[in-house]
């Protein structure tokens, strides 16, 4: 049955969109299954900005950024939204998605929904009664069911926005990112923890990379071991020279000879210069054509923009049902029904934008939400939110210590009261002890009054009070009080100039073939047949993306 389904899916993928596939025998059952799949947007979304009356505009109670991987979501989430929202309003980062397991049918490893971090609405001031208002994660839309009914917040007034990308470019970006990230630790034992900072979520713990990085990493280890074994038998053309490229400026070229471990501006006269390495098909890393056919890539990359929008990925809260939905893919009528369902969700979201027009996406999102790029911006790091959470924890600990101290006082006061009541009982009918009786009754009065005072202090200590500076408008703003635009630009520049430079240098230095040739991404070298295959594998996402472009163009018009 499994082989038949694969064969049918391949046959359908090769057919034109208008053709009806004879292979899907149960297309009607799949259609019915899709109709029963929950609509996670129903009853949860705030009205789109264009649908609200200007005179009676209602502010959403919760903002959620549906972060589709490799679609510039980090730029929007970390650089823009963190600059807009006060630190107290930001939810804790929730990108760590849990651990893997084999699915029930013995298929590829998938993330276990039971172990995922799905509490996307935990904030630093939760204990103080101030719920957070903004979260952005890689979750699919099913996560909306986990948003709590916090005080002063409605679960039917959530502003959900997202950004899509051309499916082919996204698949290529996913390949390059997976290879680059896998190369960081491929030389370490597979069971060795690669996380350096316990306060940060490691990339290979985040969906979908938790599914993909270990596979590419293990493949890289195998290729490295095989290459080293061949090299021990001798290196052909050991005296050959290869071109080396500057990580940040590929036009700057030097020449390298491994045998002499020598680098020069030009190769020696008459030297043999090997052709550059094909970055997408070589012996060092898994070829692109093999990567895009992996079952795991079909699970978490191909058509997963649509499935993420529907809440039907392999990390869905409806895990078993969503797996059945995805297994129906390939039937012409079913695929088009999925497209229509996804388009219907996009039509109701707060804002939809596309990767290819990032500047227009930012401007239209800010305008639709009533924000201004010129307003004061907040620091966009996660550290300030973590620090705020630590301050609240310290406040809670101080409160617990104070309550415990007052409880001891109450216990002591209670024992003294019991003792005085015993004396009253003992002296009440003894005419010779009336003075002591009077003193005991007076002591009871004082102890009862003291108990009330202690209890009042205890109630006050137990009721956490938010520190005034934590909620002031300028808390978390840089000292020079830059605008959102300035904070955003600084964040993007910092990410590009520092993180990308570091990653490129490390990647090009660590991943080389026998002669020292580097991998330099150049998409013009990808085989046309591979591009066409990616298109066929993403026909659902292609149609959904076209609809997202239409919505973006509509939103971008003032």
Q: Which of 4-13, 298-307, 364-373, 433-442 has the lowest mean pLDDT?
A: 4-13
What local confidence, expressed as pLDDT, does residue 51 receive?
73
Residues 489, 544 within the same domain: yes
Residues 467, 482 within the same domain: no
pLDDT at 4 over 70: no
What local confidence, expressed as pLDDT, does residue 176 receive?
97
* 3-state SS string for 398-456: HHHHHHHHHHHHHHHHHHHHHHHHHHHHHHCCCHHHHHHHHHHHHHHHHHHHHHHHHHH
What local confidence, expressed as pLDDT, does residue 196 receive?
56
Q: Domain range spanning residue 493?
A: 2-53+60-188+202-224+286-379+478-556
What local confidence, expressed as pLDDT, does residue 199 receive?
60
In this prediction, residues 346-375 reach a mean pLDDT of 95
Mean pLDDT of the chain: 87
Count of C-beta atoms within a 10 Å radius of residue 537: 24
Residue 261 burial (C-beta neighbours within 10 Å; 0-12, 13-18, 19+): exposed
Residues 345, 416 within the same domain: no
pLDDT at 96 over 80: no
Task: Give me the helices (H) in 92-208, please.
Answer: 167-182
pLDDT at 297 over 50: yes
Residue 46 burial (C-beta neighbours within 10 Å; 0-12, 13-18, 19+): buried
Domain boundary among 421, 441, 471: 471
Residues 434, 292 within the same domain: no
In this prediction the pTM is: 0.85
In this prediction, residues 506-513 reach a mean pLDDT of 90
pLDDT at 21 over 60: no
Cα distance between residue 310 and residue 289, in whole Å? 28
In this prediction, residues 184-211 reach a mean pLDDT of 73
Instruction: Determine, yes or no, domain membership for 425.
Output: yes
Task: Give me the helices (H) in 15-115, please.
Answer: 27-36, 73-74, 82-84
- Of the candidates 355, 22, 432, which has an alpha carbon nearest to the alpha carbon of residue 174? 355
- The pLDDT tens digits of the residues spanning 140-167 come to 999 999 898 888 788 899 999 999 999 9
Residues 450, 362 within the same domain: no
- The pLDDT tens digits of the residues spanning 46-83 come to 998 877 666 667 789 999 999 999 999 889 999 999 99
Residues 37, 108 within the same domain: yes
In this prediction, residues 265-283 reach a mean pLDDT of 94
Residues 510, 544 within the same domain: yes
Cα distance between residue 276 and residue 264, in whole Å? 17
What are the backbone angles phi and psi of residue 199, rounded to the nearest 5°? Answer: -80, -10
What local confidence, expressed as pLDDT, does residue 464 receive?
84
Cα distance between residue 358 and residue 314, in whole Å? 28
In this prediction, residues 486-508 reach a mean pLDDT of 83
Half-sphere exposure of 309 (CA within 13 A, CB side): 29
In this prediction, residues 396-419 reach a mean pLDDT of 95
Instruction: Determine, yes or no, domain membership for 233.
Output: no
What local confidence, expressed as pLDDT, does residue 116 receive?
55
Q: Who's near 7: CB < 8 A, 6+ residues apart? A: 23
Instruction: Determine, yes or no, domain membership for 171.
Output: yes
What local confidence, expressed as pLDDT, does residue 140 receive?
95
- The pLDDT tens digits of the residues spanning 387-406 come to 999 999 999 999 999 999 99
What are the backbone angles phi and psi of residue 151, rounded to the nearest 5°? Answer: -55, 130
- The pLDDT tens digits of the residues spanning 427-449 come to 989 998 999 999 999 999 999 99
Half-sphere exposure of 71 (CA within 13 A, CB side): 26
Q: Is 541 helix (H, G, I), strand (E, B) or coil?
A: helix
Domain boundary among 471, 497, 525: 471
Residues 153, 217 within the same domain: yes
Rg of the chain over Cα atoms, rounded to whole angstroms, equals 31
In this prediction, residues 113-119 reach a mean pLDDT of 56
Residues 11, 126 within the same domain: yes
Instruction: Determine, yes or no, domain membership for 533.
Output: yes
Instruction: Determine, yes or no, domain membership for 273.
Output: no
Q: Is 375 helix (H, G, I), strand (E, B) or coil?
A: coil
DSSP 211-275: HHHHHHHHHHHHHHHHHHHHHHT--TTTT-EEEEE-SS-TT-EEEEETTTTEEESSPPTT--BPP
Assess contact for 338 and 34: CB atoms under 8 A.
yes
User: pLDDT > 70: what percent of the chain?
Assistant: 87
Instruction: Determine, yes or no, domain membership for 549.
Output: yes
Cα distance between residue 534 and residue 172, in whole Å? 9
Instruction: Determine, yes or no, domain membership for 195.
Output: no
Domain boundary among 429, 448, 471: 471
In this prediction, residues 349-375 reach a mean pLDDT of 95
Residues 34, 92 within the same domain: yes
Residues 460, 484 within the same domain: no
Instruction: Determine, yes or no, domain membership for 543.
Output: yes
What confidence category does residue 95 fall into, taking pLDDT thresholds of 50, 70 and 90? Answer: confident
Residues 375, 455 within the same domain: no
If one counts the domains in the chain, the total is 2
In this prediction, residues 395-419 reach a mean pLDDT of 95
What local confidence, expressed as pLDDT, does residue 18 receive?
35
What local confidence, expressed as pLDDT, does residue 242 receive?
96
Dig out the tokens for 503 from the structure: 């990653």
């Amino acid at each position: 049955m499994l082989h038949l389904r694969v064969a049918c899916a391949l046959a359908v993928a090769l057919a034109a969109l208008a053709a009806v596939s004879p292979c899907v025998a149960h297309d009607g059952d799949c259609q019915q299954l899709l109709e029963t799949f929950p609509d996670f947007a129903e009853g949860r979304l705030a009205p789109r900005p264009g649908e609200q009356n200007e005179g009676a505009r209602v502010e959403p109670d919760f903002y959620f950024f549906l972060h589709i991987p490799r679609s510039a979501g980090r730029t929007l989430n970390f650089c823009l939204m963190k600059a807009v929202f006060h630190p107290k309003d930001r939810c804790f980062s929730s990108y760590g998605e849990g651990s893997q397991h084999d699915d029930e049918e013995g298929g590829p490893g998938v993330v276990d929904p039971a172990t995922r971090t799905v509490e996307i609405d935990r904030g630093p001031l939760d204990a103080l009664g101030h719920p957070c208002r903004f979260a952005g994660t890689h979750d699919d839309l099913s996560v909306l069911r986990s948003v709590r009914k916090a005080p002063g917040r409605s679960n039917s007034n959530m502003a959900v926005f997202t950004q899509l990308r051309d499916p082919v470019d996204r698949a290529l970006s996913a390949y390059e990112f997976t290879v680059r990230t896998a190369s960081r630790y491929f030389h370490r034992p597979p069971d060795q923890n690669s996380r350096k900072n316990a306060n940060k979520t490691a990339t290979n713990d985040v969906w979908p990379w938790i599914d993909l990085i270990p596979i590419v990493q293990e493949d890289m280890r195998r290729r490295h071991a095989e290459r080293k074994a061949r090299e021990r038998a001798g290196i052909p053309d050991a005296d050959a020279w290869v071109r080396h490229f500057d990580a940040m400026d590929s036009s700057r070229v030097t020449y390298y000879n491994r045998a002499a471990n020598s680098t020069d501006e030009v190769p020696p006269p008459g030297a043999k210069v090997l052709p550059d390495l094909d970055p997408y098909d070589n012996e060092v890393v898994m070829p692109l054509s093999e990567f895009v056919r992996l079952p795991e890539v079909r699970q978490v990359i191909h058509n997963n923009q649509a499935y993420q929008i529907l809440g039907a990925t392999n990390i869905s809260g409806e895990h078993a049902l969503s797996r059945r939905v995805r297994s129906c893919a390939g039937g012409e009528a079913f695929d088009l029904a999925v497209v229509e369902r996804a388009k219907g969700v996009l039509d109701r979201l707060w804002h939809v934008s596309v990767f290819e027009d990032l500047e227009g996406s930012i401007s239209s999102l800010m305008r639709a939400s009533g924000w201004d790029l010129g307003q004061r911006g907040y620091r966009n790091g996660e550290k300030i939110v973590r620090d705020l959470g630590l301050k609240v924890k310290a406040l809670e600990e101080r409160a617990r210590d104070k309550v415990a101290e007052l409880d001891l006082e109450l216990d002591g006061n209670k024992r003294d009261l019991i003792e005085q009541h015993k004396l009253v009982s003992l002296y009440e009918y003894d005419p010779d002890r009336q003075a002591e009786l009077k003193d005991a009754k007076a002591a009871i009065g004082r102890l009862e009054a003291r108990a009330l005072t202690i209890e009042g202090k205890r109630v006050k200590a137990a009721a956490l009070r938010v520190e005034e500076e934590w909620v002031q408008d300028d808390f978390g703003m840089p000292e020079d009080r830059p605008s959102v635009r300035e904070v955003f630009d600084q964040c993007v520049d910092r990410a590009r100039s520092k993180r990308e430079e570091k990653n490129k240098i490390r990647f090009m230095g660590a991943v080389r073939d026998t002669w020292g040739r580097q991998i330099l991404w150049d998409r013009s070298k990808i085989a046309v047949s591979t591009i066409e295959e990616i298109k066929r594998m993403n026909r659902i996402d292609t149609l959904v993306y076209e609809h997202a472009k239409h919505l973006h163009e509509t939103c971008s018009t003032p």
